[in-house]
Amino acid sequence: MVQLVDRLEETGFLGCLILQHNHLGSQVPNIIDIRRTVTEACRFYTELKSLGAPLGHLDFGGGLGIDYTGEKRSNENSVNYTVDEYCSNIIEAVGYAMDEAGIEHPIIVTESGRFVVALSSMLVFDVLDATLYDVVQKPTPRENDHHMLTDLLAVEGYLKPERLQECFNDAVFYRDEMRALFRRGQLDLRQMGRAERAFWHVLSLIAKVARSNGIIGELEEQLGSFVDYYHCNFSLFQSLPDVWAIDQIHPVMPLQRMDEEPTRRAILTDITCDSDGKIKHFVLEDGVENSLPVHDLKDDENYLIGVFFVGAYQETLGDLHNLFGDANVVTVSLTDDGGYQIEHETEGDSIAEVLSYVEYDPQDIMVAFRKTVERAVRRGEVNLDERKILMSAYKDSLAGYTYFE
Ligand SMILES: Cc1ncc(COP(=O)(O)O)c(C=O)c1O
């Protein structure tokens, strides 16, 4: 900075140095860090002034954070201050520093991005299917069952609230022993399948007893991983990349049946083939947990889930992983009478658009497919009616959405 000031002075441009810019980083969780760095920035400002720079603007960049979890604490998904405190801390620190140095108060500039936009956007997706951990049917005991399987099934007989941990330990032990036997070739695939089913059956009973008796502590943590998987119509990498990249936590909740207590707990998986494509941390009333309370799914209901505060960075950082494109966007404004108005709708990427982003020409693809179908027609594998159906299905598919419709 000193070299820069000297250079500006030598070249007659020092009069241009009218703004000092600082940026501490995004989502600063602790107000003390803000006050400390503002004070430090002021030291540079007053020193630069004394070197002759005609500074008049002090820019503090971004950093004003969002309390994603509502915890009001200094951690990466929360902040320990309000916007009013943020402002008063900056104004106060600048005021003291300038008065002490006898310098005129500067015009303060901020570049808050996240705080301005995060709250204005939410992601909505539907649940397509679920893998329920507790629907396995208890295998009926058979005479030739391995004794470990018989022992595993017997756990149910001594399952009581006061013996939960013991039951859990036994179930895991017998299941692991049977897996070891399977690996060594001492248990066949059918027996192994029955063992796994017996394990899940016992586990679901243990979880039921634990939850209905409000058991917490270590067992709760162990059982925490036994939850449902709700398979949802979105791509984490396209729509919530920070959840994957920096373990960002967003408020998430089901958007219907609000007067009905959710009875299940789930992790939300996306439809990419990536095992990282899931939301597995949720902020609930008592803090951050590993599963989200959800309702059981009904055949005749489109079960929707909303992810909130996604206005900052998510859509722009999102990428085309697994070729899932931009999602449909609808802009909604609230009206003075408490209602809402749809401002505009933007359709998400079509399959053809996404393919063209990765250098495949949809026209060429169509031509190649047509040739394949023509060959099949010539060989008599496809008749003319089928040819028509195939061509129009392929065309519709290219023009369709990259998510399930
Ligand atoms: C120079 C600069 N200004 C402003 C911002 C916006 O920050 P935020 O979204 O935390 O307000 C950034 C983002 O990192 C930045 O690099």
Q: Whose CA is nearest to atom 15 of ligand 1?
A: 62
pLDDT for position 217: 65
Look at 207-216, 270-279, 347-356 and tell me which has the smallest mean pLDDT.
Answer: 207-216
pLDDT for position 17: 97
What's the gap in Å between 111 CA and the centre of ligand 1?
6
- For the segment 48-75, the average pLDDT, to the nearest whole number, is 96
Question: Same topology for domains 121-132+227-324 and 147-223, yes or no?
Answer: no
- For the segment 174-193, the average pLDDT, to the nearest whole number, is 95
What's the gap in Å between 272 CA and the centre of ligand 1?
30
Q: Whose CA is nearest to atom 5 of ligand 1?
A: 62
Residues flanking ligand 1, CB < 6 Å: 23, 26-27, 61-64, 111-115, 312
Ligand 1 atom showing the smallest separation from residue 25 Cα: 14
Long-range CB contacts (within 8 A, 24+) of 67-71: 68/248, 68/249, 68/250, 68/251, 68/283, 68/309, 69/249, 69/251, 69/283, 69/287, 69/288, 70/251, 70/283, 71/283, 71/287
What's the gap in Å between 217 CA and the centre of ligand 1?
40
- For the segment 171-180, the average pLDDT, to the nearest whole number, is 96
Q: How does pLDDT run across 29-52, given as a tens digit for each residue?
A: 999 999 999 999 999 999 999 999
- For the segment 168-185, the average pLDDT, to the nearest whole number, is 96
Report the CATH superfamily, name and number, of domain 121-132+227-324.
Lyase, Ornithine Decarboxylase; Chain A, domain 1 (2.40.37.10)
Ligand 1 atom showing the smallest separation from residue 116 Cα: 11
Ligand 1 atom showing the smallest separation from residue 312 Cα: 9
Characterise 42 by phi-psi region: left (phi > 0), alpha (psi -120 to 50), beta (else). Answer: alpha
Q: Give kind and range of the element (H or E) at residue 333.
A: strand 329-334
Distance CA 311, CA 330 (A): 13
Q: Whose CA is nearest to atom 12 of ligand 1?
A: 62
What's the gap in Å between 206 CA and the centre of ligand 1?
48
Class of domain 2-119: alpha beta
Closest CA to 404 of 332, 353, 331, 328: 328
What's the gap in Å between 66 CA and the centre of ligand 1?
13
| Backbone dihedral angles phi then psi of residue 404, each to the nearest 5 degrees | -65, 135
pLDDT for position 404: 95
Q: Give kind and range of the element (H or E) at residue 19.
A: strand 19-21
Q: What percent of the chain has pLDDT above 90?
A: 87
Q: Where are the alpha helices (DSSP H) in 224-271?
A: 236-239, 241-245
Counting ligand 1 atoms within 8 A of each CB, the residue from 28, 111, 246, 309 with the most, and so the one to mutate, is 111
What's the gap in Å between 269 CA and the centre of ligand 1?
30
Distance CA 247, CA 251 (A): 13
pLDDT for position 350: 97
Residue type, 34: I
Go through the chain and tell me how many residues it has: 405
Q: What percent of the chain has pLDDT above 70?
A: 99
Ligand 1 atom showing the smallest separation from residue 115 Cα: 11
- For the segment 85-94, the average pLDDT, to the nearest whole number, is 97
Domain ranges of the chain: 2-119, 121-132+227-324, 147-223, 351-399
What's the gap in Å between 64 CA and the centre of ligand 1?
9
What's the gap in Å between 289 CA and the centre of ligand 1?
29
Provide CATH code, domain 147-223: 1.20.58
Across the chain, what does the average pLDDT equal?
A: 94
Residue type, 176: D
